[in-house]
Amino acid sequence: MAARQGGDLAVVLHGACVVRDLTEGDYVHSGTTKVWDQFSLKEGGESLSLRMIQADPGLSPGFSPIPNDDVLFCTEGRGIIWIGGNPYPLEADTAYFIPAHHAFCLRQDDETPATLVSSQYPEPRPTEFTEPQTDTQSLSEIPPMARLWEQESQTSGERWYRVLLDRRQNSNRITQLVGAIPPGRAPNHEHSFDEVIVILRGVGRMWAGDRSTPLKPGSCVFLPKNQTHCIENTGADEVRLLGIFARPSDPGSGFIF
Q: How many independent structural domains does the chain possess?
A: 1
pLDDT digits (tens, 9 = 90+) for 21-79: 999 988 999 999 999 998 876 655 567 899 999 999 999 999 999 899 999 999 999 99
pLDDT digits (tens, 9 = 90+) for 79-97: 999 998 889 999 999 999 9
Tell me the backbone φ, ψ of residue 167, rounded to 5 degrees: -60, -20
Judge whether 163 lies within some domain: yes
pLDDT at 251: 46
Q: What CATH number did the domain enclosing 218 receive?
A: 2.60.120.10
pLDDT digits (tens, 9 = 90+) for 173-202: 899 999 999 999 888 888 888 899 999 999
Judge whether 81 lies within some domain: no
187 preceded by a cis bond (ω within 30 of 0): no
Going by C-alpha positions, the residue among 184, 165, 164, 185 that lies closest to residue 173 is 165
Confidence (pTM): 0.91
Query: Cα–Cα distance between 33 and 220 in angstroms, integer?
Result: 20
Judge whether 229 lies within some domain: yes
Task: Determine contact, residues 195/16, Cβ cutoff 8 Å.
Answer: no
Judge whether 69 lies within some domain: no
Judge whether 227 lies within some domain: yes
Task: Determine contact, residues 157/224, Cβ cutoff 8 Å.
Answer: no
Q: How many CB atoms are located within 10 Å of the residue 76 CB?
A: 17
